[in-house]
Structure 1
Amino acid sequence: MNLYRSVRAVAESTGDGSGAIDWDAVAEAAQASVEPGSLSLTPAEREGYATDVRDARRRLRSVGEVEFEVPPTIEIQNRHHWIDANIETFERVMRPIEEHGTTVLPGVTRVVNTGTMAFVLSFLAKHVLGQYDPLLLADGDEDHGLYFVHPNIVRVSELLDVDYPRFRRWIAFHEVAHAAEFGAAPWLSGHLESRMERGLDALAAGDLDREAFSDLDVAMTAVEGYAELLMDRAFDDEYADLRAKLDARRQGGGPLARLVRRLLGLGLKRRQYERGARFFRVVADARGVGAASRVWDRPENLPTSAELDDPSRWLRRVDP
């Protein structure tokens, strides 16, 4: 880790470049502030990742009664690789605000914005275990990606004192469950994009589109909750200890880590996991996992906010 290089990269973003954020400086500063981690995998470990993904696809298709393929791009990454893979995502999401936002002191604001984005990416790079990337707001026909941040998976398995191959496999089931959602629902990316674009455009204009963000929150709660259900029902080993320890980790950490999670909205994501998982557990217990998978048949099948808290209403509407 080179803190001096990180600070210098942010400070030099006061140059003549256009835009409210210097994304090249973001990448350099984020990578300078976090160790990349080792990618010295044995052949058995590499084969283990491939087997985990292959088995997860087979099990999830069977248990969830959904048809999907895993992305052609599957990468075992270190933390710097993950930052590189996500710079474009962050840039796409921030583009409406960059294009329409105004500022009185553009040089100073550019430094602050650049430093903020670098901090966010470096923090996430140290904590993300796996990622299914649906390439929201991307132009063209780029392939979705499936990433595993190997140094984080190894480190967290040690911190939680759990068997590394079993933990790695459980993470693979979670990320492939996200691939199942987007594969089973070709409309889902466009649905999320439209709400995201509406909300960001409103923010860039100095307004708040509550309906767009509410719709986005409900859809993401369904996405996270269904993945939790499907990974647990399809996983072919014991997982209760993994679930308990990982949930404790999501809520734990020091005061600074908890503050950062709150500022980044990671507490909201945890609530989405919990609220969505409760909804889908009730549905699956009542009608089976296949009935829960009907949420992806069409956009109208997404639960409303009220239905998330009262799954019986959703069942009466969608699966009477």
Structure 2
Amino acid sequence: MKASSSPAKLPVNLSLAHKVAGFLAPAGPRAQAQAKRKAVEEMRYAAVAAVDHVYAITGLEAAANLHDSEVLVLDRPTWVKANTQSFDVMLGPIAQEVLGERLSRLSSLEQAFTETGGAAELGGVLAFLSTRVLGQYDPFAALAGHGPSGGRLMIVAPNLMMLEKELNLDPADFRLWVALHEQTHRVQFAAAPWLRDYLLNLIHQLGHELGQATDNLPERIASAATGTVRSMKEHQAPGEGKEPRPAGATLLLSDRGRELMEAVTGVMSLMEGHANVVMDSVDASIVPSVKTIRRRFEQRSKNQGFFPRFMSKLLGMDAKLAQYKNGQKFVQALVDRVGMDSFNRIWEGPENLPTVKEIHEPMLWVERVLGQETKADGQDA
């Protein structure tokens, strides 16, 4: 599916959402202007330097001298604005198809209320996320007319600076470590030119299903909130291979919607897992304090307060993080079993993407995609 060059307009006041998020999100750690400028320069340098390391680790030829994306080092409000610029591409067609007829029947006052209410809700969510995101690669910005064809790689400077101080990390090492993850995402889309449209198509289908679920929406939202609180009360540390219970926004979806959510999550699990494997492949020769970074970063993620945990569950983020860990196990198992070159077959086309079952049982993917090749190489698939 190809995205339209003139995407449908989302029925939300995105400018207002940006203002709401900017008002709600804290500014971040204080620093002298000179120190901020230096940090921004170093973060930008780390983002550029990371490309060669990703190439060396993955062996993907698409990563060779890849500098076609825009590198942005941003504060929190600007990160919010950059994300709202891609929303029309991702969600506009859904709004037009699912909500267009309903919105056309609304009065001007009702339309204004809808846009304003949606902006308040979206602004609140983005404000929360803007304090959590360290980096992000956005492949859809160019479709909305923003930035080069290679998309945007964004680093949220105050969040990195805050975490560096909180965890007492070496700034240069931590910035390169984060940049490695985001540049891996850029390389994934470069290695699989079909991936952007494929993922966008899944998002549009999923949005359509969610839009269809707006019947009895108050009851569905109440059920989602109740499920979130219940899940938190019953929370236990997930064990090996254990899947979290559906909670939060997932409860709003139909069976078809959950299937699409599973498909989207499968792709994202692969991408995040692959990026994490690349991060974990660096050694002290590239990031001298990498072991310290990993240990302190993982420990911090286990000590979140009530509000971040509640929001993460309400947005379904905790479930996705657990699934991303499964994606990392899948990628690492394949790389260990068949090597990075054979694993890279996964980027050749959507037919080579793993199913959810294959993510949990990597050898099923080996048998389906590489079966004859591994046997020809003398390996017992």
TM-score using structure 1 length: 0.85
- Greater alpha carbon shift after TM alignment, 210-219 vs 98-107: 98-107
**Is the counterpart of residue 34 in structure 1 residue 32 in structure 2?**
no
- For residue 25 of structure 2, give the secondary structure of its aligned residue in structure 1: coil
Does structure 1 residue 281 correspond to structure 2 residue 272? no
Say whether 1:233 aligns with 2:233.
Answer: no
Distance in 2 separating the partners of 1:41 and 1:215: 46
Q: Is 1:217 equivalent to 2:255 in the alignment?
A: no
Q: Distance in 1 between matches of 2:94 and 2:300?
A: 33
Stretch deviating more after TM superposition (169-178 or 203-212):
203-212
Q: Note the aligned Cα RMSD (angstroms).
A: 2.6
What SS does structure 2 have at the residue aligned with 1:138?
helix
Aligned pair 1:181/2:188, yes or no?
Answer: yes
Q: Name the structure 2 match of 1:250.
A: 301
Alignment pair present for 1:54 and 2:54: no
Is the counterpart of residue 120 in structure 1 residue 171 in structure 2?
no
1:154 has 2:161 as partner: yes
The verdict on how the C-alpha distance between 1:62 and 1:137 changes in structure 2, with shifts beyond 3 A counting, is closer
Cα distance, 1:77 vs structure 2: 0.9
- Cα gap change, 1:75 to 1:136, in 2 (>3 Å): closer
2:87 is equivalent to residue 90 of structure 1: yes
SS at match of 2:51: helix
Amino acid at match of 2:340: V
From 325, 337, 341, give the equivalent of 1:290: 341
Aligned to 2:72: 75
One-letter amino acid matched to 2:276: E
AA in 2 matched with 1:115: A
Are the counterparts in 2 of residues 21 and 98 from structure 1 also a CA contact under 8 Å? Answer: no
Cα offset, 1:204, TM superposition = 2.1
| Structure 1 equivalent of residue 239 of structure 2 | none
Deviations 1:106-151 (A, max 9, x none): 6655444222101111111111111111117935695200111111
Instruction: Show CA shifts across 1:150-209 (max 9, x none).
Output: 111010111122112111110011111111111111111111011111111232233643
One-letter identity of the residue aligned with 1:225? G
Report the CA distance between 1:20 and its aligned residue: 4.4
Residue 201 of structure 1 aligns to which amino acid in structure 2? H
Question: Separation in 1 of the partners of 2:179 and 2:88?
Answer: 27
Shift of the 72–20 alpha-carbon distance from structure 1 to 2, 3 Å rule, reads: closer
| Structure 2 gaps, min length 5 | 1-8, 214-253, 375-381
Report what 1:309 is aligned to.
360
Shift in alpha-carbon separation, 1:277–1:19, aligned structure 2, 3 A: closer
What is the aligned length?
Answer: 303
| Contact 1:30–1:121 (CA under 8 A) maintained in structure 2 | yes
Kept after mapping to 2: 8 A contact 1:130/1:172? yes
CA offset at residue 76 of structure 1? 1.1
Q: Distance in 2 between matches of 1:138 and 1:249?
A: 36
| Between 207-216 and 228-237, the greater mean CA deviation after superposition | 207-216
Report which stretch shifted further, 227-236 or 252-261.
227-236
Q: Aligned equivalents of 2:117 and 2:25: distance in 1? A: 19
Identity %: 26
Where does structure 1 lack aligned partners over 5 or more consecutive residues? 1-17
Superposed displacement of residue 23, structure 1: 1.6
Sort the Cα spacing of 1:98 and 1:194 in 2 relative to 1 into closer, same or farther, 3 A.
closer
Counterpart in 2 of 1:8? none
